[in-house]
Each structure stands twice: as C-alpha cells, then as structure tokens.
A and B are shown apart, each in its own frame.
Chain A
Amino acid sequence: YTLKRAAKEDSRMGLVQKYLENYYGLTKETRQFFRRRDSDTVVGKIQKMQKFLGLEVTGKLDSSTLEVMLKPRCGVPDVGH
C-alpha cells in the first residue's frame, strides 16, 4: 500500500512539476529540489500560482489547488516571457 501511495504521490508530483515548469517558469535546475517540496523556489512558485489563479495562498498542494491544476487550460504561460 505504501509503495502504491508513493507511486501515486510521484505521478502527482510529476504533474505539479510539469505544470509549474510550463506555466510558472520553474526552471529545470530546480528539478532536483522538487522532491522536497519545502525548497523555497518550489513553494514560491506554488504560492505564485495560487495567488494568480485566485486560490488560497498556502504554498501547499492542497486539494483545491490540485483540482484547478487538473482542469483544461490555455497553453500560454501565466508568467514570464
């Protein structure tokens, strides 16, 4: 069960990482920190996303944040060039 949860956690983190890379300018070099969600770069990106999308800014991947991230959207980034 733990393994399964870890795999699910992994795929979710993959989705979040891709989302932040695609739309919030998370750069690849911060990728290695991504597994530790407390790296301030990643938390900062999550907070930025939550603020932009009108969510409660917690820096955490709560269910409402994940729910919005799963919704179809425009492919143009929300920040940066």
Chain B
Amino acid sequence: FRTFPGMPKWRKTQLTYRIVNYTPDLPKEAVDSAIERALKVWEEVTPLTFSRVYEGEADIMVSFAVGEHGDFFSFDGPGESLAHAYPPGPGIYGDVHFDDDEKWTEDASGTNLFLVAAHELGHSLGLFHSANTEALMYPVYNSFTDLTRFHLAQDDVDGIQSLYGPPPASSDDTPVPTESVPPPPPPPETPAMCDPTLSFDAVSTLRGEVLFFKDRYFWRRTHWNIKPEFHLISAFWPSLPSNLDAAYEDHSKDTVFIFKGNRFWAVRGNEVQAGYPRSIHILGFPPTIRKIDAAVSDKEKKKTYFFVEDKYWRFDENSQAMELGFPRLIAEDFPGVEPKVDAALQAFGFFYFFSGSSQFEFDPNARMVTHILKSNSWLHC
C-alpha cells in the first residue's frame, strides 16, 4: 500500500459526508446504499465514523459529473477513468467524483458503484494506489470481483491502519490477550440442502418457480431442472439483506415482496423496485410489530396472510388494506399448524406452512392439515 506524498490524513475520527447529486443510472436509494456500504468497509477497520449531512459543506462531498467539471481533471467519457478522489483536507480535498459517462450498476452488469466508491473513499481517507493486485486500492477496476464475498485485502487494512490505527475495542468486547490474535471467524457454512434438520427463513413463488431462502442463499426450483439451483441472494439482488424473515409473490403485480425486520422490498425479476425498502407499518401493522415471520398470498382470493408468532393478519390486495378483525390466532383458523411459522407457500390448492424442519400441508377447504412433511421435501432429497 502507499499513502499520498506528505501522508495527509484526517485529524479527527468523526467525518461527515454528503451526496451532492445522483446518477440517472440508479435509484437514489441504491446510490445511498452503495455509498453507505462503501464507508462501512473502512469504518469496520478503523476508529473512523461517518455521518451523513444533506446540505452545506461536508468533509467528503460525493458527486457525479461528466467531462470537465471544474477541477482540471476532466473525465474522459465511457471507460478509462471511472472516478477520482482527493486526499484528506479542506475544500475539494476528501471529495469523490464519479464519471457519469459510466453505466453505474448495483451488480456486475456495468460498473459497480459500491466497488468503485469503496476504492475512491480509500483515497478520501489518505490511501494512494497499491501495487498489490489483490488490494481494493489497486488502480485497475476488476469487474470479476466477487461482490458477494467482497472484503478488504490485508494490504488495504495495513494501509488504512498505518494512518488511523485499528478500531477501538468496543465496550462489550472481552479484552483479547494482545499476544494472540483471535482466529478470523470461520466462513459461514453453506446450508446443506438435504440436511434433515433444514429450516427456511422464507419461501416464495416467482413466475412459476419456487425460491427457498436460507441465510445468505436460496434454492431455486425451476421447471427445467429437477435439481434445484443454489445461489447467493446477492448474486441476483445485491441490495437485499440476508437472513430474510418472509417473502411472497403478488401474481397480479408480477412482484415478490421480501421482508426483513420492519422493512420490505419489492422485486420484479431481479430488479429491486425504486422507492424500497419501505416500512412494514404502511401495510397496517400496529407499531408493536417489529418483524413478521412468514407471508403467503392467495392468488384466487387476492388475500395475503402475514404470520407473526401465534397470530396472523389478512391483507386485502384489492383494497390494499389490512382487513378488520385481525390479528386472529393461527390455531383457530389453521388447526394443526403449529406456530411459529417460518415460511408459507400456496401451491396445488394447498397452503404449505414451514416450521423448523417440519412442513404442514393444509387443505383450506377441509380446514385441516392433510400431510406433515420434511421442510426440504420440495428439494428432491
């Protein structure tokens, strides 16, 4: 790694940033998220913290521009120079400029904004280019970087910590003996499809396929392949979180709604729709509800069921409102289905409720559980 000549660095640890304008290539939320995640990359390995301001001068001003844009470092059209940034200091120093003649994307189909932002912010914090081809601060854009497993190279960490030191041990950290550096956490195991104890975070149909979400991954059951495909969520939807709570497809809108915590996203195919995430409370949940466990939409009746612990709500897709008289007890209207429901699916006229490693096939006409299966029975184990 290298620092800029004269080793400029910020003399404070609490820095401000402002997104001055946006590219037309992406929804504003996607730009906000990319910059936020790029800052977090450096925040995690230093004592630095970043807070966003929306007007006036910030330490790091982020903007998009084309060609000559007032700093004598003209951009050069598509390709070649993607962006540039200035080392720490007042005024233009610390600022990041993106060339808006590039096609900025959330995935790898164009120039990935998160990846370039993380590199440029390295400059804003005082890192010059690195000759280490594995390092984020290597000057040439690597379009094959696995975005799902992005992490700083040791060279990047050594460089930024040579300027600012390591992050402070947080108050609840038990003091780690200095002589032994704790081993890096083992990489998260990938879930085994045919593990008899397998449970799911969420299940949803998608244009005739069925998606089974677990941790950072999902299995995809398609018509043309008896063997389910296994993917990282972020390979299709980079801005979605992992460890989802619920998901359901609204067939009339050709949209899958994805829930985590008190927020939900709308995806159409692999496009996250603009204006999301939104709060689940706009659907009509009381403020006491912090998350939902499962959701499924009855495409004939145009009713969507939301399951939370031992209760459920019903949402009328026509009036777009939660129905009165809810919540009701799951045990009353779905006898035999044991809370808590992890995920839910409608298929072949039945409802399938996933709870841990068990799956309850429920006949809504007979109002009874007709089969109890293993949760992963859909994956042809």
Known: A68-B140, A78-B129. A73 touches B5 (CB 8 A): no
Contacts of B75 in A (CB 8 A): 75
Check: B279 CB closer than 8 A to any chain A CB: no
Contacts of B80 in A (CB 8 A): 72-73
CA distance A43 to B129 in the complex (A): 21
Contacts of B120 in A (CB 8 A): 74
Check: A36 CB closer than 8 A to any chain B CB: no
A55: nearest residue on chain B (CB-CB)? B133
Check: A52 CB closer than 8 A to any chain B CB: yes
Q: Which of A53, A75, A78, A81 contacts B5 (CB 8 A)?
A: A81
B-side interface size class:
20 to 34
Pairwise interchain contact B140-A75, C-beta atoms closer than 8 A: no
Known: A76-B85, A81-B5. A71 touches B140 (CB 8 A): yes
Contacts of B116 in A (CB 8 A): 74
Contacts of B133 in A (CB 8 A): 53-54
CA distance A52 to B140 in the complex (A): 11
Interface residues in A, total, Cβ within 8 A: 17
B102: nearest residue on chain A (CB-CB)? A72
Check: A34 CB closer than 8 A to any chain B CB: no
- Contacting B at CB under 8 A, from A40-55, are 51-54
CA distance A71 to B81 in the complex (A): 9
CA distance A22 to B76 in the complex (A): 11
Pairwise interchain contact B139-A74, C-beta atoms closer than 8 A: yes
Which A positions have Cβ atoms within 8 angstroms of B?
22-23, 51-54, 68, 71-78, 80-81
Q: List 15 additional contacts besides A77-B129, A78-B139, A80-B5; criterion CB under 8 Å.
A: A22-B81, A51-B131, A52-B131, A53-B131, A53-B133, A53-B139, A71-B140, A73-B140, A73-B141, A74-B82, A74-B85, A74-B123, A76-B85, A76-B128, A76-B139
Which are the 7 A-B pairs with shortest beta-carbon distances? Answer: A75-B84, A75-B81, A72-B141, A73-B140, A54-B133, A73-B139, A74-B139
